[in-house]
Amino acid sequence: MTEHSSETVVDEIPTTETKSMNHGGKLVGRVLARHGVKFLFTLCGGHISPILTGSEEEGVRVIDVRHEVNAVFAADAMARLSGIPGVAAVTAGPGLTNTITALKNASMAQSPVVLLGGATPTLLMGRGSLQDIDQKTLIEPHVKWMKQIRRVRDIVPAMEEAFFQAQSGVPGPVFVELPIDTLYPEELIREQSEGQMPRGNSIMARATRWYINNRLNNVFADKNKHQAKPPRLPSFPAANLSQITKIRDELLQAEKPIFVIGTGAMLQPRKADVLAKAIKQLGVPTFLSGMARGLLGRDDLHIRHKRGNALKEADLVLLAGVPCDFRLGYGNSISSSAMHIGISRSKEEITLNKKPAIGVQADPCDALIDLANFWNESEGRWADWHGTLKERNDARDAEILGKAAADTDHCNPVNVCIELEKVVGENSILVGDGGDFVGTASYIVRPRKPLNWLDPGAFGTLGAGAGFALAAKLHNPEAEVWLLYGDGSAGYSIAEFDTFARHGVAVMAVVGTDGGWTQIAREQIDILGTTLGTDLAMTAYHDVAKGYGAEGLLVQNDDDLQEAFETAVGRSKSGVPVLVNAWIGSTDFRKGSISM
């Protein structure tokens, strides 16, 4: 019968006033509120309007962005910082396809994101309706769980399961598809469907009316059956006493141990301070990466430079939430004679490229805290080894300082980062989005506290910066949020300065503008003898920011850097987003840094 009903069901977004009516969007909003969600990131679309209004009525602040990918990036960052899954809602079809990069980034970063997607009415699926595509086939490879809603009564249990699945085991993104007729008020859907039904008493007309009414009855049957409940606690593996004891015994025998702690150890951000205390109690020289940057603050236990040398010399290497991927030479960076210990929620991550002598599938944060609880050794156990690593670290810092004195056209990029480091406050959150300039900054500009550094992670995604910065400032409005852009990456999301200005989100961005994709160009010129595809203009990004309602500052020489950064801080404190466009010259500081 369905092939005869193409003109009998409305293929439009309902337009009648719905605020006073009950609808599926309110059910979504209630679940979000019960799970502690404070912000819903979105780009509007008629398919999802009830989700937005329903969430707002439940006290969830709706933040609309200029591109769907940035809604998911923002949700990703919110999850990393708060420990509560970040939530984004996007319209059907192209709205959903625009999220794929950010979804995959969240997946690889083990970040719990709940993506809500609109869909065409259930009666019109697969029939050429507006923006109707096979969303399951598109999304399923990039999420750990998904549910396609077809009845209003399934919204609440599906949403609650989505939150549970996003956080449990290895965290990651999940997807819930919500068709138009499950979101808008029943009265409105029935009214508009009635107006489009065929008239007359022919067999076909009666059969079509029966079919449509039967389908609508199914969509709305027992629609209030489920009400939002308190969230279930997520489940994930934990280390047992035997495993913790074995690691402790190996550590007691080690003379040159190191810890490498990464994003996978930060999946419980509310325990960040407890984790930092545990690491300091253990006293093992520690390298930090990803979301773990800033975990130890300015403590000397944190070694920042010459990690490759340390890995080759260490007799025990403990990887906590860090895989042996390209960043560790696919495992070849670790000495073959070292006691290699891997801790991760992901079994696959533990054994990636190099099987450890001791592999523990557990949350790395909890495992390290448990290890510290069984550690009664005196401080300074590895003082000589730590001294060697610190001496190298300090020598590298001095070498970097020397690079800042080199003459370049415009500002020296190393000096830009040194001057920025002087201005960054104790409560600053740093967001990295770029290649060469941000890579330089990562050596110099240091997060002061746990959870004060955000970067995309192993996927190497450009364009995450604006969404990350948006979430960081919303999550912690008292913090100074610095968004570090390369001029290549700035092009992906600079339009979100409109979002910053409209929502009063006073982010500060620094663009290192050298007119090129320099990380690529530097090696490409040597290997292939051309800059083809890597040339950009010295664009007036500060004027672009002004056009979106923010403040824009241009800096063309080193002498003006400090004043510009101080001005940015002042304007930000008054509630104005700021972009500092720092024109930089070329150096060989990061020669050979390209990853392929």
Overall average pLDDT of the 135-153 stretch: 95
pLDDT score, position 199: 83
Residue written as tokens 């720092």?
582
Residue written as tokens 């948006």?
470
User: Tokens at residue 34, please?
Assistant: 């019960």
The stretches of 457-552 forming alpha helices (DSSP H) are 465-475, 487-493, 496-503, 518-528, 541-547
254-295: pLDDT as tens digits: 999 999 999 999 999 999 999 999 999 999 999 999 999 999
Which range has the worst mean pLDDT, 3-12, 63-72, 406-415, 424-433? 3-12
The answer to whether residues 498 and 548 touch, using CB atoms and an 8 Å cutoff, is: yes
| Residue 211 vs residues 7, 130, 205, 298, 423: alpha-carbon distances, Å | 14, 22, 10, 68, 67
Q: Which CATH architecture has domain 2-220?
A: 3-Layer(aba) Sandwich (3.40)
pLDDT score, position 299: 92
- pTM tops 0.75: yes
517-574: pLDDT as tens digits: 988 888 899 999 999 999 999 999 999 999 999 999 999 999 999 999 999 999 999 9
pLDDT score, position 584: 95
Q: Kindly list the domain boundaries of the chain, sorted by start residue.
A: 2-220, 241-387, 404-583
415-463: pLDDT as tens digits: 999 999 999 999 999 999 998 899 999 999 999 999 999 999 888 899 9
pLDDT score, position 5: 34
Contacts of 458 (CB under 8 A, 6+ apart): 108, 109, 323, 325, 327
Query: Phi, psi (5° rounding) for residue 429?
Result: -110, 130
Contacts of 50 (CB under 8 A, 6+ apart): 18, 23, 24, 25, 26, 28, 183, 184
DSSP structure string for 302-344: B--S-HHHHHHH-SEEEEES--SSGGGGGGTTS-TTSEEEEEE
Amino acid at 85: P
Taking the C-alpha atoms of residue 387 and residue 271, their distance in angstroms, rounded to an integer, is 29
pLDDT score, position 123: 80
Q: Which CATH architecture has domain 241-387?
A: 3-Layer(aba) Sandwich (3.40)
Closest CA to 470 of 74, 148, 91: 74
Taking the C-alpha atoms of residue 107 and residue 169, their distance in angstroms, rounded to an integer, is 13
pLDDT score, position 429: 97
| Residue 222 CB neighbour total at 10 angstroms | 10
Question: pLDDT tier at 407 (50, 70, 90 boundaries)?
Answer: confident
pLDDT score, position 21: 60
323 versus 124: the higher-pLDDT residue is 323
pLDDT score, position 591: 67
User: If you average pLDDT over every residue of the chain, what do you get?
Assistant: 91
Question: pLDDT tier at 143 (50, 70, 90 boundaries)?
Answer: very high
DSSP structure string for 237-263: ----HHHHHHHHHHHHH-SSEEEEE-G
pLDDT score, position 1: 30
pLDDT score, position 127: 75
Sheet holding 286-288, edge to edge: 286-288, 257-261, 316-320, 339-344, 358-361
pLDDT score, position 113: 98
pLDDT score, position 590: 66
CATH superfamily of 404-583: Thiamin diphosphate (ThDP)-binding fold, Pyr/PP domains (3.40.50.970)
